[in-house]
């Protein structure tokens, strides 16, 4: 028997329940992974709430974890029982002690990287990879804005930007989070609770504004983000932590300087085995070399059966960096 988290209706964290189940054998192009650490991502709250509804209910939750291959499907050649692996973008159900995963979502985990480091960084690291390296290729010396700079994705972005020699301006919600972002490599920070984001950007850039803004907050920062962009700048809207952006008047993009907007996702940039291999190689190299440090606070590691509490704390916006479920 194994344990997983599932929900039968959409709603708040209270809809999550731990249930016992008997895992099926993996399909021919799947491996069964005994999870050692499970990544918690903000998109999981969108699926639970119904913003991004799952195909059917009841449903499992989570798409990212690290562990050991315990069974392999009949067509699997490049993975074997006992391999250390990490996966992201799996079918829903990673909030589980055991999960069957398509092999094209799995990457071999180097010995230098722990299960907890991997589960805390894989999806978030791949996200930073496609944002900074593919959606808009950040250049050395270039300033740009990254919202939620002390979050799980944000702290990896701070470190990656520093490695690229770029100047990340991060928004944060407290002095403590500002300190954390600066320690991670942010060039400047803006406390959105005390400062006007667009005005501070103008001050920092001497009125030039920025070529690109990365915004995972959504509704609350949409207008401010557009006001930070220079003529023909790019708005990269990749999340909705404050709610989705709706009712957009495209004329605003004209009025604010012939701006560009994109709403990318990981699936649009990393879908093939070769794309995942390229991205994971770059990410793992940065982690193994210590350029990107992934440390999860003990207070943000939760037993699998406490997924409900983990979601409550995540949505309260008091967390810093990544959070994990431990089976």
pLDDT at 131: 98
pLDDT at 248: 85
Q: Does any domain span residue 21?
A: yes
pLDDT at 271: 86
Higher pLDDT, 276 or 186: 186
If asked whether residues 5 and 80 sit together in one domain, one would say yes
Poorest-pLDDT segment among 77-91, 99-113, 178-192, 265-279: 265-279
If asked whether residues 113 and 140 sit together in one domain, one would say no
Centre a 10 Å sphere on the Cβ of residue 269 and count the other Cβ atoms it contains.
17
pLDDT at 170: 98
pLDDT at 40: 94
Confidence class for position 246, pLDDT limits 50, 70, 90: confident
Confidence class for position 277, pLDDT limits 50, 70, 90: confident
pLDDT at 320: 75
Q: Does any domain span residue 126?
A: no
Q: Does any domain span residue 304?
A: yes
Quick one: CA dihedral 168, 180, 266, 272, positive or negative? Answer: positive
- Provide the domain limits for residue 181: 135-262
Q: Does any domain span residue 174?
A: yes
CATH number of the domain bearing residue 294: 3.90.180.10
- What is the rounded (10 degree) CA torsion for 156, 264, 56, 32? -50
Domain end (from 217, 240, 262): 262
Confidence class for position 327, pLDDT limits 50, 70, 90: very high
pLDDT at 247: 84
Domain end (from 262, 279, 297): 262
If asked whether residues 252 and 279 sit together in one domain, one would say no
Confidence class for position 242, pLDDT limits 50, 70, 90: confident
Angstrom distance (rounded) from CA 4 to CA 35 = 11
pLDDT in tens, 15-28: 999 999 999 999 99
CATH number of the domain bearing residue 214: 3.40.50.720
If asked whether residues 87 and 5 sit together in one domain, one would say yes
Q: What mean pLDDT comes out for the span 97-110?
A: 95
If asked whether residues 112 and 61 sit together in one domain, one would say yes
pLDDT at 219: 85
- This prediction has a pTM of 0.87
Q: What's the total number of domains in the chain?
A: 2
If asked whether residues 243 and 284 sit together in one domain, one would say no
Q: Does any domain span residue 67?
A: yes
What is the DSSP secondary-structure string of 133-168?
A: IIIS---TT-EEEESSTTBHHHHHHHHHHHHHT-EE
Q: What mean pLDDT comes out for the span 77-106?
A: 95
If asked whether residues 115 and 187 sit together in one domain, one would say no
Angstrom distance (rounded) from CA 45 to CA 51 = 8
Q: Does any domain span residue 128?
A: no
Domain end (from 209, 234, 262): 262
Q: What mean pLDDT comes out for the span 309-316?
A: 94
């Amino acid at each position: 028997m194994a344990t997983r988290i599932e929900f039968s209706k959409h709603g708040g964290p209270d809809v999550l329940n731990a249930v016992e189940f008997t895992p099926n054998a993996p399909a021919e192009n799947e491996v069964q992974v005994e999870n050692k650490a499970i990544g918690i991502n903000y998109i999981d709250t969108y699926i639970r709430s119904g913003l991004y509804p799952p195909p059917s209910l009841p449903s499992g939750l989570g798409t990212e974890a690290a562990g050991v291959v315990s069974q392999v499907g009949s067509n699997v050649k490049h993975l074997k029982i006992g391999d250390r692996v990490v996966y992201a973008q799996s079918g829903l159900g990673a909030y589980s002690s055991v999960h069957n995963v398509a092999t094209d979502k799995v990457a071999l985990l180097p010995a230098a990287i722990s299960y907890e480091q991997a589960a805390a960084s894989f999806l978030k690291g791949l996200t930073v990879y496609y944002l900074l390296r593919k959606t808009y290729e950040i250049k050395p010396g270039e300033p740009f804005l990254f919202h939620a700079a002390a979050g799980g994705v944000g702290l990896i972005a701070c470190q990656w930007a520093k490695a690229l020699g770029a100047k990340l301006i991060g928004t944060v919600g407290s002095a403590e989070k500002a300190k954390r972002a600066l320690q991670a490599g942010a060039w400047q920070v803006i406390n959105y609770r005390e400062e006007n984001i667009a005005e501070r950007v103008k001050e920092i850039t001497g009125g030039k504004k920025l070529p690109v803004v990365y915004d995972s907050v959504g509704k609350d920062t949409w207008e401010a983000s557009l006001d930070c962009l220079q003529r023909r700048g790019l708005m990269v809207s990749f999340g909705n932590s404050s709610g989705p952006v709706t009712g957009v008047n495209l004329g605003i993009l004209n009025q604010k300087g012939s701006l560009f907007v994109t709403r990318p996702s990981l699936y649009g940039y990393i879908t093939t085995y070769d794309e995942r291999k390229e991205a994971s190689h770059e990410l793992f190299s940065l982690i193994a070399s210590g350029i990107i440090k992934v440390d999860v606070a003990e207070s943000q590691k939760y037993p699998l059966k406490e997924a409900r509490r983990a979601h409550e704390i995540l949505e309260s916006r008091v967390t810093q960096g990544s959070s994990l479920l431990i089976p």
